Structure 1
Amino acid sequence: MSLLNLSFFLSLLALSSHAKPTSPRAAPHIIHILVDDFGWNEVGYHQPSDTPEDEIEVQTPNIDQLKEEGLELDRMYVHKICSPSRSSVQTGRDAIHVNVQNVHPEVTNSNDPIGGFQGIPLNMSTIAEVLSDTGKYETSFVGKWDVGMATEDHTPYSRGYEKFFGYFHHSNDYWNFNEQKCSLKNIKDLWLHNKTFSGPAVHLENGAHCSQDNQSPDGERCVYEEELLMGSVKQQIKDYAAGDQEKSLFMFWSTHLVHMPLQVPDSYLDKFSDVDDSNRRSMRAMSNYLDTEIGEVVDTLKETGLWEDTVLVFHADNGGEIMTQSCGGNNYPLRGGKFSNFEGGIRVNAIVSGGFLPEERRGKVEDRLFTSSDWLKTYAGLAGVDTDSLSDAKAVDNGLPDYDSVNQWPIISGQGEDDEVAREEVIIGDTTSVEFNGDGDTLVGGLIKGRWKLLLGAKNKLYRISQDVVTSVNYPSKPMIVPELIFRTCSRTLKNACLFDIYADPSETTNVAEENEDVFNEMLARIDEIQESVYSPDRGKKDKRACKVAKDEYGDWWGPFL
């Protein structure tokens, strides 16, 4: 990046309004880091203890340090795919009450002006809106949004975030920002919004020859997208620290890494030249780049003096992608991965750290249940909101589900009793859609209560759940396997049930329904009860106006189109 372009970019990021606060510094800073498709076995602290040091490929020293100095959440559950998990985090709702579909941001259904779009329905409040309404926080979103783009009202800057720098879709190319085509024309996805500017980040476009295979084209700009995102996070922290600091900072950093495509600077690939499989080498390098980013942002928080008053939360949106071995992910020893409701798809790496975390909780492991929906009320509680009475009136008045979130700060901080449980169950979402990014009916695909987990496949898919595989510690495995084509039947009968004791059997190897028939029947009845409450709108189909606006108004860049 030239000095001129860098200066212009940073000046745009710095511009933001600072409304007068009602209660200066009345709450801790919150940095929420949501990592994309980050497998259970992609962190150093999850490597088997008996693995020889020279065989450990994973290099995540900064994330491992966060865990050592923070609190590991060992039972953090999310949805099995990207957009639903993100919808859950942002709205404080279980996926079945907001969105279980991974459809594209261009879909619309004119018959449903509230839910007939991708992601978060209109009239549902978000975590940023709740914190903004307290008058104690200034808010910013950096990275992957993936929960709505159709109108301005679906974007981060209409959902409570004062600043936004990122992209709208499931992913894009890390070098040229391309995501899908319109009439054979590549459309780019990268957007910037602040007080004085809102639109495609055209000024950050790389040269025509910039790519994974050509990272230093002669005379052309060529900057890795993740470097831009991290640069934004660091610069905004520095700008905040240099400002009046009358409000606390809430920053939601949603990394592109380690989502496909498998792209990373050559200098990181070179670190893993001894890894034979090219896809696995790319994933190791991407995870290491992510770790470097985390370290740099933590260092920035410490250098600016913000760390001691910060709650930093780090977790993945779903498990690592292992549908085929070309995906490069690894969730060992958990079964399955992204797109599957086995543990490898929905149980994710999660850490709470920062100077605001009580000292006595640092270095500990918490094994009580957490879900992606819990952060809304947890953060609201930190801001002084009475979370017991917190309700989303805007949603309820429009016939939409209320919050499912529970305030987990007493558990995180150790203020409650050792046997206190904030969350008694985790609802596992599913869909009738047979396409990865298709629309379908919302289903309850399982339930976790304490040590018990019951999975239930979709009837229209013959009750089958894919990726019935536990990969090796250094996946990909030999002989070659295709996890997406390996199924297990999880039905309503004892013989073909999928009831697991996930504390004793984390790899979900043994169905224990026949010897625990009462548990099986009770959980099946509870699934049927919850099914009556699901939110299941028709999201619609791709709207041709999205391409027209992208080409005619934005110059071949994606953005709001209605």
Structure 2
Amino acid sequence: MNNSARFRIVALVLLLLTSSAVSHAGAAVSSPTRPPNVVVFLVDDLGYMDVGANNPDCFYDTPNIGRLSQSGMRFTDGYAANPVCSPTRYSLMTGKYPTRVQATNFFSGMRGGTFKPAPLNNHMPIEEITIAEALKTKGYATFFAGKWHLGESEEYYPQNQGFDVNIGGYSRGGPYSGKRYFGPFENPQMEVESPEGDHLPDRLARDTAKFIDEHKDEPFLAYLAFYSVHTPLMGRPDLVEKYKEKSEAVEGEEFADEEQVIGKKPRKVRVLQKHAVYAAMVEAMDQAVGKVLKQIEDSGLEDNTIVVFTSDNGGLSTSEGSPTSNLPLRGGKGWVYEGGVREPWIVRYPGVTKPGSESSTPICSIDLLPTIASAAGVEIEHSIDGIDIRPALEGGALDRDALYWHYPHYSNQGGIPGGAIRVGKYKLFERYEDGRVHLYDLEADLSESKDLAAEMPERVQQMRKKLHAWYQDVDAKFLQPKEGRQPWKPEYLQ
């Protein structure tokens, strides 16, 4: 072989090596080199049946939430950890059941009834490791906007619980300052005031979108906890007018009877969706969700951003205007029935969830932190109650035998103080006033109308034993005596 031939061979080898190096370098650049971004939408008081993705006959228009569902996974059996707000918010932040710190009612709800309520903690302990604090160990920028309601003073606000930015989160459970849902808001945690007439859900969405755009070159957590659709019932005039016209075509009885706690007059429950103002609030919230989702797309982050959409408790159906119906789910906010704890849950996890997929695997608020921490490569070294639901997101099952609820209070909405356990398709409901239990087959009886307790005593005994063991594990507190009357207590406390 002459020198010219050798030179050509060497040149060809060098060319191939160079091409290979460029190809590999290009692949490294195009593939994700950082953990996924996380965007959480938490809606206040939004019922399971309030979004079109769960309810094709929904009175409220929610196209953006629908598109999110079509791009990710919708859970049919997703739950809140409690039928009211603060406890569920605590569990989303910490991965723990709120009963562990006696955060079992909204802060600070001490409404009385036949008996005195259980002792209540009124803040999320500052020692808790939040989802924001967990992600910051991996270099995440962290942002919170909206309703916090996890502590009575600034030491417990988001900026002291791992969030770099807090816009609007403080002690109040609703937009009760200024002009409430319309600017100026006079919110002490909004450094920049809104102009006259600015709409709160849109303001919070704009701030969230701005944060995403400004932090698109680093991993981030954007947690948008809407004040919507909590009372006061106030809607944008254009949307209110739209739904007033739409409601004229909706016929039927709007209310029916619902049971009430011992010694109280039974109250009505809404059974027909047609409340124009509430509908306007739902659609405005959906539009705000759409604004944030568009920013994710415009920033080129859609393929590396986990999006989670859920609510903190069921729809408001039995008080304060009773604006929505949760049927076929029984009850609503403040009730341990399905209407109070079954929530919209949609997760879009690029590369993990199949677009337009659905899962009937039960999940809960306690699962948010461990799932997101795992995705970000954060190792949780302390004890929590939730689990990483990635197997379910991939279309499989979860290794968990039960979910639990504990609400030893009299709710504003007339709900019954009680606890519950779900094992498979069965749910056991235990009343704290007198200790009665009810058993329901949720697959056959989603409305919890057929009590199977008398027909299946062995199952009742097994599930009740498991529930009571959980009470002991979390140090659950119960109703207290009042005026000489003694409430029921579990046998281990007697």
Pairwise TM-score range, normalised by the shorter structure: 0.7 to 0.9
SS in 2 for 1:322: coil
- For 2:471 and 2:237, the matched residues in 1 are separated by 48
Aligned residue number for residue 485 of structure 2: none
Which sits farther off after the overlay, 155-164 or 167-176? 167-176
Superposition map of 1:318-397 within 5 A: 318-324=313-319, 326-353=321-348, 356-358=350-352, 361-386=354-379, 390-392=380-382
Structure 1: 5+ residue stretches without partners: 1-23, 107-114, 179-186, 193-200, 207-220, 393-401, 464-490, 492-496, 539-562
Measured against aligned partners, the alpha-carbon deviations of 1:478-534 in whole angstroms (never above 9, x if no partner) come to: xxxxxxxxxxxxx1xxxxx31001112111111112222111001111121111123
Candidates 193, 218, 230, aligned match of 1:204: 193
Shift of the 41–458 alpha-carbon distance from structure 1 to 2, 3 Å rule, reads: same
For the pair shown, which has the larger CA radius of gyration, 1 or 2? 2
- For 1:101 and 1:535, the matched residues in 2 are separated by 16
Aligned residue number for residue 410 of structure 1: 391
- For 1:521 and 1:232, the matched residues in 2 are separated by 51
Aligned residue number for residue 176 of structure 1: 179
- For 2:60 and 2:109, the matched residues in 1 are separated by 34
Candidates 212, 224, 248, aligned match of 2:219: 248
Aligned residue number for residue 534 of structure 1: 474
Contact (CA 8 Å) 1:83, 1:102: kept in 2 or not? yes
Aligned residue number for residue 158 of structure 2: 156
* Structure 1 position 177, deviation (Å): 3.9
1:235 is aligned to 2:175: no
Contact (CA 8 Å) 2:418, 2:431: kept in 1 or not? no
- For 1:121 and 1:281, the matched residues in 2 are separated by 39
Candidates 135, 141, 158, aligned match of 1:138: 141
Candidates 26, 43, 63, aligned match of 1:35: 43
SS in 2 for 1:123: coil
Shift of the 35–357 alpha-carbon distance from structure 1 to 2, 3 Å rule, reads: farther
Q: Amino acid of the residue matched to residue 434 of structure 1?
A: Y
SS in 1 for 2:431: coil
Aligned residue number for residue 410 of structure 2: 434
Aligned residue number for residue 234 of structure 2: 263
* Structure 1 position 173, deviation (Å): 3.6
1:518 is aligned to 2:493: no
* Structure 1 position 188, deviation (Å): 4.9
Shift of the 281–83 alpha-carbon distance from structure 1 to 2, 3 Å rule, reads: same
* Structure 1 position 47, deviation (Å): 2.9
Q: Amino acid of the residue matched to residue 500 of structure 1?
A: Y
Aligned residue number for residue 550 of structure 1: none
SS in 2 for 1:32: strand
SS in 2 for 1:407: coil
* Structure 1 position 150, deviation (Å): 2.1
Candidates 89, 93, 96, aligned match of 2:92: 89
TM-score by length of 2: 0.77
Shift of the 174–282 alpha-carbon distance from structure 1 to 2, 3 Å rule, reads: farther
- For 1:35 and 1:315, the matched residues in 2 are separated by 6
1:128 is aligned to 2:132: yes
* Structure 1 position 322, deviation (Å): 0.8
- For 2:62 and 2:221, the matched residues in 1 are separated by 25
Measured against aligned partners, the alpha-carbon deviations of 1:306-358 in whole angstroms (never above 9, x if no partner) come to: 1111110001111100113723022121111000000000001110125x143
Structure 2: 5+ residue stretches without partners: 1-31, 111-118, 249-253, 255-272, 479-494
- For 2:338 and 2:208, the matched residues in 1 are separated by 31
- For 1:535 and 1:166, the matched residues in 2 are separated by 33
Candidates 434, 446, 450, aligned match of 2:420: 446
Superposition map of 1:7-46 within 5 A: 25-46=33-54
- For 2:159 and 2:456, the matched residues in 1 are separated by 50
Candidates 448, 451, 455, aligned match of 2:429: 455
Aligned residue number for residue 75 of structure 1: 77
Q: Amino acid of the residue matched to residue 291 of structure 1?
A: D
Contact (CA 8 Å) 1:444, 1:531: kept in 2 or not? no
SS in 1 for 2:104: coil
Contact (CA 8 Å) 1:96, 1:429: kept in 2 or not? yes
Shift of the 371–273 alpha-carbon distance from structure 1 to 2, 3 Å rule, reads: same
Aligned residue number for residue 482 of structure 2: none
- For 1:174 and 1:227, the matched residues in 2 are separated by 17
- For 2:145 and 2:37, the matched residues in 1 are separated by 16
* Structure 1 position 104, deviation (Å): 3.3
Q: Amino acid of the residue matched to residue 313 of structure 2?
A: N
* Structure 1 position 74, deviation (Å): 1.2
Aligned residue number for residue 18 of structure 2: none
- For 1:162 and 1:347, the matched residues in 2 are separated by 31
Shift of the 205–234 alpha-carbon distance from structure 1 to 2, 3 Å rule, reads: closer
Shift of the 325–123 alpha-carbon distance from structure 1 to 2, 3 Å rule, reads: closer
TM-score by length of 1: 0.68
* Structure 1 position 190, deviation (Å): 3.9
Contact (CA 8 Å) 2:45, 2:314: kept in 1 or not? yes
* Structure 1 position 272, deviation (Å): 1.1
- For 2:428 and 2:413, the matched residues in 1 are separated by 25
1:224 is aligned to 2:224: no
Contact (CA 8 Å) 1:175, 1:224: kept in 2 or not? no
- For 2:356 and 2:385, the matched residues in 1 are separated by 29
Aligned residue number for residue 166 of structure 1: 168
Q: Amino acid of the residue matched to residue 198 of structure 2?
A: V
Contact (CA 8 Å) 1:39, 1:331: kept in 2 or not? yes
SS in 2 for 1:332: coil
Q: Amino acid of the residue matched to residue 237 of structure 1?
A: I
- For 2:422 and 2:345, the matched residues in 1 are separated by 18
Measured against aligned partners, the alpha-carbon deviations of 1:257-289 in whole angstroms (never above 9, x if no partner) come to: 111111121121122122259981011111111
Candidates 97, 102, 106, aligned match of 2:106: 102
- For 1:537 and 1:521, the matched residues in 2 are separated by 21
Contact (CA 8 Å) 2:178, 2:186: kept in 1 or not? no
Shift of the 164–325 alpha-carbon distance from structure 1 to 2, 3 Å rule, reads: closer
Q: Amino acid of the residue matched to residue 27 of structure 1?
A: P
Measured against aligned partners, the alpha-carbon deviations of 1:145-180 in whole angstroms (never above 9, x if no partner) come to: 01113242x1111111111101321102486249xx
* Structure 1 position 227, deviation (Å): 2.1
Contact (CA 8 Å) 1:63, 1:295: kept in 2 or not? yes
* Structure 1 position 83, deviation (Å): 0.5
Contact (CA 8 Å) 1:260, 1:327: kept in 2 or not? no
SS in 2 for 1:456: strand
Q: Amino acid of the residue matched to residue 413 of structure 1?
A: E
Contact (CA 8 Å) 1:311, 1:353: kept in 2 or not? yes
